Amino acid sequence: MIRLHHVPFSRSFRILWLLTEMGLDFEVVEHSITDGSLRRPDFLAKSPAGRVPALEIDGRILFESGAITEYLCETRAQHGFGRPPGHAERAEYLEWLHYAETMAHLVANLNLQWVFLRDPSMRSPTLLKMEARRLQLTLAPLEARLSRHDHVLPSGFSGADTMLGYNLLAAPYFVRLDPFPAIRAYVARMARRPAHIAARARDGVQGFYRQEFYEVADG
């Protein structure tokens, strides 16, 4: 049995979506990011940094969503979601797969400030503005790319798309997507994929965000 350790509306959605696209049978073990369970020894034995996703598969336990995506796409190559060595898109595939983690790091920084610092006086308006701006800047190259292609890679759907899945669910809480019509159209296309619909149904209720948009007031 494949077992995915998951927090709703987190980076582990990337793997939830990819497994669903592959049509694999798997169990979801839901965790909370706030109850301390991710810091318990039994979970740290699965994911040393205490983060999701962790994936139990093929007699091993994998952690880090980028590594899991590469592993799944290489060991289940019949689905065509990877780009193997020698493929014309191999370099682009790896670039965008890992670019997704650059974006997610900025989302994580914004989450830390806005969501997990309970005392508002601890937040840094300067840092919040800077990180939101940096996140916006990472969207510009993606916008340019998606204005030319329906997917991240010209040849079609891949693990790079599932890696971006979480980012583009979370980014609109911090960055307005109005200036990015190609990204908005892409998000809508992905949301219509049957596997995406099924994955979102299994994702669970997000417990992070208490408002639709987080913005630093001027002044």
Query: Which has the higher per-residue pLDDT, 152 or 118?
Result: 152
pLDDT over 90 at 122, yes or no:
no
Gap between the Cα atoms of 36 and 33, Å rounded: 7
Regarding whether 145 and 61 lie in a shared domain, the answer is: no
Instruction: Write out the DSSP string of 112-165.
Output: IIIII--SGGG--HHHHHHHHHHHHHHHHHHHHHHTT-SSSBTTB--HHHHHHH
Regarding whether 105 and 60 lie in a shared domain, the answer is: no
Q: What pLDDT, on a 0 to 100 scale, did the predictor assign at position 219? A: 53
182 neighbors 143 (Cβ within 8 angstroms): yes
Total count of domains within the chain: 2
Range with the lowest mean pLDDT among 14-23, 58-67, 106-115, 153-162?
106-115
pTM: 0.96
Mean pLDDT of the chain: 95
Regarding whether 149 and 109 lie in a shared domain, the answer is: yes
Query: What range defines the domain where residue 15 resides?
Result: 2-79
Residue at 58 is within a domain = yes
Residue at 158 is within a domain = yes
Residue at 115 is within a domain = yes
pLDDT over 90 at 121, yes or no:
no
pLDDT over 60 at 14, yes or no:
yes
At 208, the pLDDT band (50, 70, 90 cuts) reads confident
Gap between the Cα atoms of 186 and 168, Å rounded: 10
Regarding whether 101 and 148 lie in a shared domain, the answer is: yes
Q: What pLDDT, on a 0 to 100 scale, did the predictor assign at position 33? A: 86
We report the CATH number of the domain holding residue 12 as 3.40.30.10
Q: What pLDDT, on a 0 to 100 scale, did the predictor assign at position 149? A: 97
Regarding whether 187 and 100 lie in a shared domain, the answer is: yes
Q: What pLDDT, on a 0 to 100 scale, did the predictor assign at position 85? A: 96
User: Tens digit of pLDDT for each residue in 105-114?
Assistant: 999 999 999 9
pLDDT over 80 at 218, yes or no:
no
Query: Which has the higher per-residue pLDDT, 122 or 200?
Result: 200
From residue 198, give the alpha-carbon distance in Å to each of 30, 126, 164, 190, 203: 16, 39, 17, 12, 9
* 32, 48, 79 - which closes a domain: 79
Regarding whether 181 and 94 lie in a shared domain, the answer is: yes
How confident is the model over 156-170, as a mean pLDDT? 96
* 79, 101, 121 - which closes a domain: 79
User: Tens digit of pLDDT for each residue in 32-81?
Assistant: 988 888 999 999 999 999 999 999 999 999 999 999 999 999 999 999 99
At 217, the pLDDT band (50, 70, 90 cuts) reads confident
Q: What pLDDT, on a 0 to 100 scale, did the predictor assign at position 73? A: 98
pLDDT over 80 at 92, yes or no:
yes
* 79, 99, 115 - which closes a domain: 79
